[in-house]
Amino acid sequence: MSVSGSVSEWIEGVKNQDSHAAHRLWNRFHRRLLRMTRRRMGRVSRCVVDENDVVSIAFHSFLQRVGQGQFPNLTNRSQLWRLLTTITDRKIVNNVRKNATIKRGYGRVYGESMFDRQDQSESFLMTATASELPPSVVIAMAELINSLDDELRQILLLRQQGYTNEEIATILNRSVTTVERRVRMLRARWERELTR
């Protein structure tokens, strides 16, 4: 068992299946990996897998692969960091791809409140009331939200949260052109609602 603070010795310990060395590497790199992963995940949905999960999965993969002898030339901290970031980046990409598949709802995993139209209307109503809009506008807004299909409602909510059309396209697994068309449709419906 390695007792010194040398990352190089811990790497050798991990190659020899030393769980104490693995634990020390985890303690040494886990927070740094977490910060990096949080930045790189950006606005990726964390409903299914968050940055903590990604870092744990990536580190487990690293330990498993080292145990299988896949990285015989790995000897120092800078090589280890590059390897850990590469594995973690790939886990992020794989997670995004996996959650964007048909059986996972094309990446559209929402909290329970997303399925309650009443909650959405109330959220918009609270925002609208807080901004001191006239009551007739608030009512028109609530009626519009309740009349939208799921995708239009999601686009509206994401726009309210400050997402760009490009970000919404990524989240919904749609083309930017489709999102832009749907946003134009929302605007047209809103203008019709206001001129009633």
Asked if 62 and 87 touch (Cβ cutoff 8 Å), the reply is yes
Question: What's residue 80's pLDDT?
Answer: 93
Task: Give the pLDDT band of residue 160 (cuts 50, 70, 90).
Answer: confident
Higher pLDDT residue, 16 or 129?
Answer: 16
- Mean pLDDT over 95-117 rounds to 49
The total number of residues written for the chain in this structure: 196
Does 149 score more than 90 pLDDT?
no
Question: What's residue 24's pLDDT?
Answer: 92
Mean pLDDT of the chain, nearest integer: 75
- Mean pLDDT over 136-154 rounds to 72
- Mean pLDDT over 116-137 rounds to 48
- Which of 12, 30, 10 has the alpha carbon at shortest distance from 21? 10
Does 2 score more than 50 pLDDT?
no
Question: What's residue 81's pLDDT?
Answer: 92
| Structure-block tokens of residue 68 | 């299988």
Longest dimension (CA), the chain: 77
pLDDT over 90 percentage in the chain:
11
- Mean pLDDT over 42-68 rounds to 80
